[in-house]
Amino acid sequence: MAGVEGKVIAITGASSGIGRAAALLLAGRGATVVLGARRIDELEAVVRDIERAGGIASHRRTDVAKREDVAALTALASDRHGKLDVLISNAGIGPISKLDELRVEDWEAMVDINVKGLLYGIAAALPIFRRQGFGHFVNTISTAGIQMSPTMAVYAATKNAVRTLSEGLRLESDGKYRVTGISPGFVGTNFAESMTHPGVRAAIQKQMDEIALEPEAIARAMAFAIEQPDDVDVGDIVVRPTVQG
């Protein structure tokens, strides 16, 4: 089934930034979107925006660090709409710092959300996709996993774990589902808010203010992968500002 119209798409991290942009764009192109995020007020606002524009959306508060939350989000999509065409695993955090600062709690949080959150999505959606005989994983990665920078060792490691898991999924798919990894560069989101180191947060925010893309650029890349015919698997897309080093 080519195109976006008529597809049921679940999105984590959908209350702001890339997730919100993807929800608005895909719903605008005729998809039914099922949205998850921790911030319920912002999530409800996204649903209202979609519905006012004539789209179809529902939501559930979702903390991807909790397996039961991710399972409930995919079940909401499948039970209410009879199928799940796409799971966009977009939720992520980046409380980056140098390793010698030993911010172990920040490391654990990145592993819980960026890696385990993705695995919980796989565990929830894979049985649905196998049962249906079709489906599509779209995983938000990062250019941080392509070009290393100081302070980003743990964050980049979690994102490269996502890259590896995505390729493993693809190799095991047997043609029954598709897998796409999207690696954004600097994007104008609230990503810096997750950073606990004040100096690092200020430096990253300054770079974002100077060169960041709008989140819609990443949403369009997601839509491109999703709208391809079922026998076309778009594996990896890197989207970054032209001036990003």
Q: What is the C-alpha separation between 135 and 93, in angstroms, rounded? A: 26
* Alpha-helical runs (H) found in 111-174: 117-132, 153-171
Residue 155 a catalytic site member: yes
User: Using an 8 Å Cβ cutoff, are 182 and 218 in contact?
Assistant: yes
* C-alpha pair distances (Å), 1 with each of 49, 92, 141, 212, 224: 27, 29, 25, 34, 14
> Which residues make beta-bridge pairs with 187?
213
What 3-state class would DSSP assign to 59? Answer: strand
Query: Side chain identity at 244, as an amino acid letter?
Result: Q
φ/ψ (deg, to 5) at 228: -70, 155
Q: 8 CB contacts (<8 Å, ≥6 apart)?
A: 31, 32, 34, 77, 78, 81, 82, 83, 84, 85, 86
**Residue in 164, 72, 166 with CA at minimum distance from that of residue 125:** 72
Query: Side chain identity at 79, as an amino acid letter?
Result: D
Dig out the tokens for 15 from the structure.
Answer: 């209350």
- The active-site residue out of 107, 120, 129, 155 is 155
Q: Looking at the annotation, which residues are catalytic?
A: 155
